[in-house]
Amino acid sequence: MLAIIGGTGFSQLSNLRITHRQVMRTPYGEPSGPMTFGTINQRELMFLARHGYGHTIPPHQVNYRANLWALRDQGATSVIAVTSVGSIRADLVPGTLVVPDQIIDYTYGRDFTYFDGKDKAVTHIDFTHPYSEKLRQILLAAVKSANETCVDGGVHAITQGPRLETAAEINRIERDGADMVGMTGMPEAALAKELGLAYATIAVVVNYAAGRGNSRDGVPLETIGTVMNPAMERVRNILERAVELNGD
């Protein structure tokens, strides 16, 4: 079954026919909120709002372990995550959709693995390719099916938050090779890999990163909504096609 994790600006799926909601408990605490179950075009799926349905959980306090555990516990085999990002690369103008293929992790202090107890064997996962290529291709096919456009590939830098970055930090992150920057996606992607879940992201560029474009004198937070809202509607259309193409 496919699960969708919604990020900032994406706390519900308007085209989801809800069948029920379920409060979950996991060995790692409570997820961000109740799991929403439903169908799109007769295809079953699950939905979870990463920041809570009232958007009250900041990126560094999301219980990523509980979220992914709960999704798998309820039968998810694939996870598509929606996230908002700032553009570092000049051609990624606000409103652009990106299906990234790489990650650079700048987060710290988050519970980032299921293998950290004294009773757990030392376990390493191969994270060469952090996203499922099969699921990425499904997303790209869904974009085409929905008559939308997106950028195929890109390096997604993930910072701690909740503050935005300085211009100097963005300069450093660009030198490291990143194309876009956000605050979620890690340890989410790694935890999905540990659980054997196929995981991919659709990133919505909602602003230029600090020191870029119209953010040279500061990120205009008050205008992000005007970009985010129509972009998220496009994402909903794409996800509807992705549900049909996933085949789970």
Whole-angstrom Cα distance, residue 67 to residue 95?
A: 28
Is 207 known as a binding-site position?
yes
Annotated binding-site residue? 107:
no
Q: Which residues pair with 29 in a beta bridge?
A: 26
SS3 at position 13: coil
Does the annotation list 208 as a binding residue? yes
CB 123 within 8 A of CB 243: no
List b or e across 147-169, with b for residues whose CB sees 16 or more CB atoms inside 10 angstroms: eeebbeebbbbbbbbeebbeeeb
Which segments within the chain are labelled E, that is strand?
A: 2-6, 17-22, 35-40, 43-49, 78-87, 97-99, 102-105, 151-152, 155-158, 180-182, 198-208
φ, ψ of residue 231 to 5 degrees: the values are -65, -40
184 is in an annotated binding site: yes
For residues 196 and 78, what is the distance between their CA atoms, to the nearest angstrom? 9
Does 8 carry a binding-site annotation? Answer: yes
Helices 133-145 and 224-246, packing angle to 10 deg: 110
> For the chain, how far is it from start to end, CA to CA, in angstroms?
5
Q: Binding site: residue ranges?
A: 8, 50-51, 183-184, 207-209
Binding site for phosphate: residue ranges? 8, 50-51, 184
Binding residues for substrate: 183, 207-209
